[in-house]
Structure 1
Amino acid sequence: MALILSVAALAAVLGFALRRPRGWPEIVVALPAAGLLLAVGATTWQSARTEVTDLLPVVGFLAAVLVLARLCDDDGLFRAAGSAMARSTRGDQKRLLASVFAIAAAVTAILSLDATVVLLTPVVLATARTLGVPARPHTYATAHLANSASLLLPVSNLTNLLAFSAAGLSFLHFTAVMALPWLAVVAIEFLILRKFFAKDLAVAPRPRAEATPAPWPRFTLVVLALTLAGFALTSLAGLSPAWAALAGALVLGIRGLATGRTTVTRITVAVDGPFLVFVLCLGVVVDAVMRNGLESTMQQILPDGTGLPALLWIAAVAAMLSNVVNNLPAVLVLLPLVAAMGPPAVLAMLIGVNVGPNLTYVGSLANLLWRNVVRTSDVPTGAAAFSLVGLCTVPLTLVAGVAALWAGLQLFNI
């Protein structure tokens, strides 16, 4: 009975989060679901308290990064990126796609996938309209890179933050090992999307007007560079990278308020408190499902060992689970199991939950945010159209990413 209630609660929470009727926040269902499972004894208060305590540092870091990304937008960083993409075209859409890939990969890695979906995608859409070219190749690039380009840094994705604490690696060590998978996945994504959208990319740009170049906000870029360095330094000092993110957000926030570029209301909205509470409640719900049978089932499915075939299987299981229950619950389910196998298994799982979601809308919440952003454009956003592109990219990027991970593990003797 407890298992049935736990699975039903998880299904209800995810179903509501994926659809969000009337724009209501995810906690409308997540909070009562967690409370119900506690009330009926599907999980214990002690277990729920432990789960929330473990997630709090990750959630706090996410809040700081969300604010940092919004403040960068307020200071014109993404407008400058759009201007740079438009100037790079030079009459060839393939150059535009390359620029979109470079900027989207960097934004995802440094400011997280939410910044790519919510802040960069509208800029890419506007740039395509200005140049008079089909937006489909370039917006699908932001959708895919929001997931797959988040492999590089521990701060690039909420799933990375969760895995980072379990992998037992320093910030620099994590980044060094994941650099090869990140490069391999991004390169293959570029080659496949360039081929898949060849017809759209053949359209010559027809700029509607000569736009005034938007300058790069130098102060913001310096703060971002220092924040990125701070991520590594705090990790070496045994501190949470959240402190570096908080420092960067404070510097840009104080400056933004002083110059009138932002407001306290905008900063408060950027924190997205309801979503942060949703993550904590989701952790409690998943804990109940694990305690009532899923943990033993997953233990039978996951392989022993950390050789290349085993890592490929772990990544494949993670990718498939992401497309059934979403990648965040997939991490919460798999992480306790793969953490016992060591860093190689944790990182292979991470490739699965970051690359796999490009297959379906269910794969990640970022996919649904992207669909909402581009829905009013002429970009096809149907589930079939989205999955068709994913079918072309996910299998190859998954295999290439794990193979590159295995090579990196040999290189760094892990």
Structure 2
Amino acid sequence: MVVNWPEVVAVLALAGVLAFAVVRPRDYPEAVAAVPAAVLVVLTGGLSAAAAWHQILDLAPVVVFLVAILVIADACDAEGLFTALGGILTTTSRGSPRRLLTQVFVVASLTTAVLSLDATVVLLTPVVVAAALRTRAPARPHVYACTHLANSASLLLPVSNLTNLLALAASGLSFLAFAGLMTAPWLVAIAAEYVVFRRFFAADLRRAGAQTRTGAAARAAADPGGRPDRVSLPRVPLVVVAVVLLGFAVAQPLGLEPVWFAVAGAVVLAVRGLRKRLVSPRRVGRAAGLDFAVFVLGLGVVVSAVAAGGLGDAVGALLPNGTSLPALLGVAAVAALLANLVNNLPAVLLLLPLLAGAGPGPVLAALIGVNVGPNLTYVGSLATLLWRRTLRQRGVEPALRDFLTLGVASVPLTLVLAVVALWCSLVVAGL
């Protein structure tokens, strides 16, 4: 038996990069493993230098887009957006864990859709933890909602998730067409998650004593007239974000690249933050996540080598053809399984070339699989790992058993219903 050593090296390189990303020894950035791995697969013949460079050029606009969105999200945080959201959650929940959960679902879904899933796990999660503590509500339902919605609620816009940005290019859709087709799956996924959460955390949400105590605490913090303190949202960052989203919508008809609207928004908010001394140059650089950008480029090269080595053919053989409902369900199931085996980012990088030319339906079905599927295990997405690290930094240790059980209860249902909603959207659109 002849061993294909370049293929073996590529698979081992991918496994090593993913293991490093999960463990993060000494908090070293993921790029520390991804860059040498990319160089290794080129040197060993797993991928030609020309093909590697082509992959980097293909990913570069997506990575720039991601960097800009991360800067925008951090600038919004520096302006006090997430602090204000925390105040709103605290005062308007009025001590009711159920009401707080509903509000967290709304805020986390919108944050994920507009500012990306990273904003939800890094910036919103600590706010939700603080809101739960202030209202004496059980933290479990609300912090788990953050990670689930960071994944499931990232279906709506191309900017919601790095996987979406990659899928947008492969789908051939415009920004508005993408959002139009994914609106129904987005709403259905959120609704399915909410129903599961209400049942799964029913005992946590029935805390009448906590509600009474918190109601008194909220009233004590109110003004003499008994009305809670008003919390105002910062207007400038919200206006800038709205203008950027409008720019995304009109970019293609105007023949412009959407990435430049994201870059412009990031520059405006970063310069404003620097002038008002809300952020430092070092904070802006850290928010940009350049090390993560390099990691994505390196990972893309490694995954290309793995796909070229034969794994791509093996996965392709599992993918059903066509745009029928059973076919779309099959594509989503394969994508979800692959995401939980190798993480959703390598999964989508592996799947998209296989679905090229199949039309937007299979691409978007795969996107549902790699976005919803990671709620099943910790390793399904980098966002989930980041969420876990964020909680640990604040003294909250999520329980693996709870995470896995909740995933089993929610992922199959959410996945199927979201794909059915996508199929309906495609039928209505005539695609």
For normalisation by structure 1, the TM-score amounts to 0.98
Report the alpha carbon displacement of residue 19 of structure 1 after superposing the two structures with TM: 0.8
Report the alpha carbon displacement of residue 237 of structure 1 after superposing the two structures with TM: 2.1
Tell which deviates more after alignment, 310-319 or 215-224. Answer: 215-224
Unpaired runs of at least 5, structure 1: none
List 4+ stretches of structure 1 deviating above 4 A: 376-380
- Determine the C-alpha separation between the residues in 1 that align with 2:45 and 2:399: 40
2:91 to 87, 96, 112: 87
Q: Tell me, yes or no, if the aligned pair for 2:95 and 2:135 is still in contact at 8 Å.
A: no
2:404 to 363, 366, 387: 387
Distance change >3 Å, CA 87–CA 235, structure 1 → 2 = farther
Match of 1:267 in 2: 284
- Determine the C-alpha separation between the residues in 2 that align with 1:281 and 1:249: 24
- Determine the C-alpha separation between the residues in 2 that align with 1:379 and 1:320: 29
1:2 to 1, 6, 11: 6
1:109-153 CA distances to partner (integer Å, 9 max, x unpaired)? 000000000000000000011111111100100100000100000
Q: Tell me, yes or no, if the aligned pair for 1:109 and 1:149 is still in contact at 8 Å.
A: yes
Report the alpha carbon displacement of residue 270 of structure 1 after superposing the two structures with TM: 0.5
Match of 2:273 in 1: 256
Q: Are 1:360 and 2:377 matched, yes or no?
A: yes
Match of 2:61 in 1: 57
SS in 1 for 2:363: helix
- Determine the C-alpha separation between the residues in 2 that align with 1:303 and 1:20: 36
- Determine the C-alpha separation between the residues in 1 that align with 2:294 and 2:366: 25
Q: Are 1:347 and 2:384 matched, yes or no?
A: no
Q: Tell me, yes or no, if the aligned pair for 2:97 and 2:138 is still in contact at 8 Å.
A: no
Match of 2:318 in 1: 301
Distance change >3 Å, CA 393–CA 380, structure 1 → 2 = farther
Unpaired runs of at least 5, structure 2: 223-228
Report the alpha carbon displacement of residue 213 of structure 1 after superposing the two structures with TM: 4.2
SS in 1 for 2:94: coil
- Determine the C-alpha separation between the residues in 2 that align with 1:109 and 1:320: 24
- Determine the C-alpha separation between the residues in 2 that align with 1:28 and 1:199: 44
Report the alpha carbon displacement of residue 222 of structure 1 after superposing the two structures with TM: 1.2
Report the alpha carbon displacement of residue 376 of structure 1 after superposing the two structures with TM: 5.0
Report the alpha carbon displacement of residue 64 of structure 1 after superposing the two structures with TM: 0.2
Give 1:22-61 correspondences, 5 Å limit.
22-61=26-65
Q: Tell me, yes or no, if the aligned pair for 2:95 and 2:136 is still in contact at 8 Å.
A: no
SS in 2 for 1:236: coil
Tell which deviates more after alignment, 238-247 or 6-15. Answer: 238-247
Match of 2:226 in 1: none
**AA aligned opposite 1:128:** A
Q: Percent identity?
A: 54
Q: Are 1:172 and 2:176 matched, yes or no?
A: yes
What's the Cα RMSD here?
1.3
- Determine the C-alpha separation between the residues in 2 that align with 1:363 and 1:239: 34
- Determine the C-alpha separation between the residues in 1 that align with 2:35 and 2:303: 13
When Rg is computed on C-alpha atoms for both structures, the one with the higher figure is: 2
SS in 1 for 2:158: coil
- Determine the C-alpha separation between the residues in 2 that align with 1:201 and 1:75: 32
**AA aligned opposite 1:365:** L
- Determine the C-alpha separation between the residues in 2 that align with 1:60 and 1:117: 21
Give 1:194-209 correspondences, 5 Å limit.
194-203=198-207, 204-205=210-211, 206-207=213-214
Match of 1:110 in 2: 114
**AA aligned opposite 1:50:** H
Match of 2:79 in 1: 75
**AA aligned opposite 1:147:** N
Q: Tell me, yes or no, if the aligned pair for 2:157 and 2:178 is still in contact at 8 Å.
A: yes
SS in 2 for 1:411: helix
Give 1:141-152 correspondences, 5 Å limit.
141-152=145-156
**AA aligned opposite 2:25:** P
Q: Tell me, yes or no, if the aligned pair for 1:136 and 1:379 is still in contact at 8 Å.
A: no
| Count of equivalent residues | 414
Match of 1:101 in 2: 105
Q: Are 1:235 and 2:252 matched, yes or no?
A: yes
- Determine the C-alpha separation between the residues in 1 that align with 2:90 and 2:83: 11
**AA aligned opposite 2:190:** V
1:155-175 CA distances to partner (integer Å, 9 max, x unpaired)? 100000000011001111110
- Determine the C-alpha separation between the residues in 2 that align with 1:11 and 1:340: 29
Q: Are 1:335 and 2:339 matched, yes or no?
A: no
- Determine the C-alpha separation between the residues in 2 that align with 1:240 and 1:150: 22
- Determine the C-alpha separation between the residues in 2 that align with 1:157 and 1:70: 16
- Determine the C-alpha separation between the residues in 2 that align with 1:391 and 1:51: 35
Tell which deviates more after alignment, 375-384 or 144-153. Answer: 375-384
Match of 1:136 in 2: 140
**AA aligned opposite 2:307:** M
1:314 to 331, 347, 350: 331
SS in 2 for 1:375: helix
- Determine the C-alpha separation between the residues in 1 that align with 2:32 and 2:6: 22
Report the alpha carbon displacement of residue 340 of structure 1 after superposing the two structures with TM: 2.3
Q: Tell me, yes or no, if the aligned pair for 2:117 and 2:154 is still in contact at 8 Å.
A: yes
Match of 2:343 in 1: 326
Match of 2:390 in 1: 373
Match of 2:20 in 1: 16
- Determine the C-alpha separation between the residues in 1 that align with 2:174 and 2:366: 18
Q: Tell me, yes or no, if the aligned pair for 1:339 and 1:345 is still in contact at 8 Å.
A: no
